[in-house]
Structure 1
Amino acid sequence: MSSRDEFHSAEIAVGTAGVARRPVGPAESEAAGRRWWDADADAYLAEHGADIGDAEFVWCPENLHEAEAELLGPRASLAGKRVLEVGAGSAPCSRWLAAQGAHPVALDVSAGMLRHAARLNRELGVDVPLVQAGAEHLPFADGTFDLACSAFGAVPFVADPGRVMREVHRVLRPGGRWVFAVNHPMRWVFPDDPGERGLTVVQSYFDRTPYLEVDGAGRATYVEHHRTLGDRVRDVVAAGLVLEDLVEPEWPEGHERVWGQWSRLRGELFPGTAIFVTRRPG
């Protein structure tokens, strides 16, 4: 999963000089995402590695674990299933799935993140296959996987999330489940601030212009794309998937962790995460 903190050393590495709001196509968006996460992988995992774990499946900063939520299905049913993790980062979710007897494949656009995934695979003795590719062009044959999942990976950062839905539908077997977590769309109207400033509306929920950080030449160094809740549902339905559930995790009692824009202050007032539980009919 990812959250946009106020400052990252990666901004220096990729040459961030300012912010912008303008349309961004798939190629520029993917290139920016690759450069950003390659540059930020070390710092991100140094800061958040303890939160996501080395072999845990944590859906979101609200600390919802798949072991309890079972959004992919009963835990006992995972054994033997082929699972695609989209936007896997360092692949802790895939390693957790492997420990349940599943056969996961971890896909990410960033070589920097997959380098950490490979290191953790070696350290933990878990053989999870790693694939570098963008989510809009999945390099797998039709009907390859029983399940697919994404915990804040890829979907918020691609220019064409509808294509991601169609690609996942294609690589799933009939009856296969696809569960993905993203920033809750209503968060778009607030600043990325966990404090009081993050409680004030600053832009329209209906403004879908991407948020960019750019270098001195105006080239995107970081991109996030906004879709309304209705947009997300339409993308799912248009891809031929069935929406079974929409989970909005509540802020748990006793959870005090501040993670980027996520905090108890905001989490007790409005949702920070939306998790879409879908399946390919069959």
Structure 2
Amino acid sequence: MREGAHPGRIAAYPAQDLSLEATRAIGRLCRDTRRRVGRKSTTREPIIQEPEPLEPEATRRDAGVTESSRANRGWWDRNADEYQIEHGTFLGDDRFVWGPEGLDEVEAELLGPPEDLKGKDVLEIGAGAAQCSRWLAAQGARPVALDLSHRQLQHALRIGGGVPLVEADAGALPFADGSFDLACSAYGALPFVADPVRVLREVRRVLRPGGRFVFSVTHPIRWAFPDEPGPEGLSISASYFDRTPYVEQDEEGRAVYVEHHRTIGDRVRDVVAGGFRLVDLVEPEWPAWNTQEWGGWSPLRGNLIPGTAIFVCERD
């Protein structure tokens, strides 16, 4: 599971117009030439004992657009294997889950009834291993899965399914205006960007009139509590109104992970500034069937405070 497909099979583009036909051709290339994974090298290499890396320092400080993008691309490339191993079973290969609570698009229908997805062009932003895009394809939609992380997209290749994959920054989408009917993002991009309005405006640009964009993020109230699944995660430890980003940095002060906090009001204003109309704000309750812990998410906390906020937006 730790070995990805050939890196040359993922489309990586700077900001430029890319037609859907070109993207789908790339997807067919990915599907037709994907190699088997899991082969082990027969070359004997000397074993070199590397020093243990220092744990990054967690702090709260400013982090701009470029620093945030660079740090999070590197973090997801380094941690994609572990993430897919730890959460791959819960996410499935072709399931559309909006967050750790387990709210499934099959039931939520936030993008619309499944039967209405057939033939729709859909952009998934922050797709990871493209599980949501695979589910969309099974409904007859025509998805494109975009992610900042090359390694996450290698896992998408490993799983397969022929979904077109594009490696790009959500703040500079490499598609022509009006390319898609729908866009979605399940915990992708928006929690990690310093300028969410820039991303929202890009999404609006590539949507056709009447298009819908649905995205989920950590519920803003969680920023006031410690990120712990047990009772210690139920006592307020910080100001909800402190927007200072959470940053993990190396010994030289370079950010290696960045997450940005926006209040509920900030998110609503961002949606409006991005040119969208907010249709719904969904706060999933923790279901009785879900007994898992996922980082700071747990049945204990989920039954008391919301963990995920899902914004349903439309372009007029």
| TM bracket, shorter-chain basis | over 0.9
Q: Which residue of 1 aligns with 2:155?
A: 116
Q: Does 1:239 align with 2:278?
A: no
1:200 alignment partner AA: S
**C-alpha distance in 1, partners of 2:125/2:52?**
25
Q: Which residue of 2 aligns with 1:30?
A: 69
**C-alpha distance in 2, partners of 1:225/1:15?**
24
2:231 to 180, 189, 196: 196
CA separation of 1:14/1:131 partners in 2, compared to 1, >3 Å: closer, same or farther?
farther
CA separation of 1:91/1:15 partners in 2, compared to 1, >3 Å: closer, same or farther?
farther
What residue ranges of structure 2 are gaps of 5+ in the alignment? 1-50
1:184 to 206, 216, 219: 219
**C-alpha distance in 2, partners of 1:243/1:161?**
15
Q: Which residue of 2 aligns with 1:48?
A: 87
Question: Is contact 1:59–1:181 with CA below 8 Å preserved after alignment?
Answer: yes
Task: Determine what percentage of the aligned residue pairs are the same residue.
Answer: 64
**C-alpha distance in 1, partners of 2:109/2:83?**
27
Q: CA deviation at 1:17?
A: 2.8
2:205 to 153, 170, 178: 170
Q: Which residue of 1 aligns with 2:18?
A: none
**C-alpha distance in 1, partners of 2:100/2:220?**
15
Q: Does 1:224 align with 2:246?
A: no
- Greater than 2 Å deviation, 4+ residue runs: 12-17
**C-alpha distance in 1, partners of 2:82/2:222?**
24
TM-score w.r.t. length of structure 2: 0.83
**1:48-197 mapped onto 2 (5 Å cutoff):** 48-121=87-160, 126-197=161-232
**C-alpha distance in 1, partners of 2:114/2:276?**
22
**C-alpha distance in 2, partners of 1:105/1:232?**
25
1:221 alignment partner AA: V
2:295 alignment partner AA: G
Question: Whose Rg is larger?
Answer: 2
Question: Is contact 1:14–1:35 with CA below 8 Å preserved after alignment?
Answer: no
The 3-state SS of whatever aligns with 1:38 is helix
How many residue pairs get matched? 266
Q: CA deviation at 1:240?
A: 1.4
Q: CA deviation at 1:254?
A: 2.8
Q: CA RMSD in A?
A: 1.2
The 3-state SS of whatever aligns with 2:301 is helix
What residue ranges of structure 1 are gaps of 5+ in the alignment? 1-11
Bigger drift between 26-35 and 251-260 goes to 251-260
2:310 to 271, 275, 278: 275
TM-score w.r.t. length of structure 1: 0.92
**C-alpha distance in 2, partners of 1:193/1:76?**
39
**C-alpha distance in 1, partners of 2:289/2:208?**
40
Q: Deviations over 1:20-61 (max 9, x none)?
A: 211101111000111000000101100000011111001111
The 3-state SS of whatever aligns with 1:61 is coil
1:62 alignment partner AA: E
2:67 alignment partner AA: E
**C-alpha distance in 1, partners of 2:309/2:93?**
23
Q: Which residue of 1 aligns with 2:37?
A: none
The 3-state SS of whatever aligns with 1:142 is coil
The 3-state SS of whatever aligns with 1:203 is coil
**C-alpha distance in 2, partners of 1:141/1:189?**
40
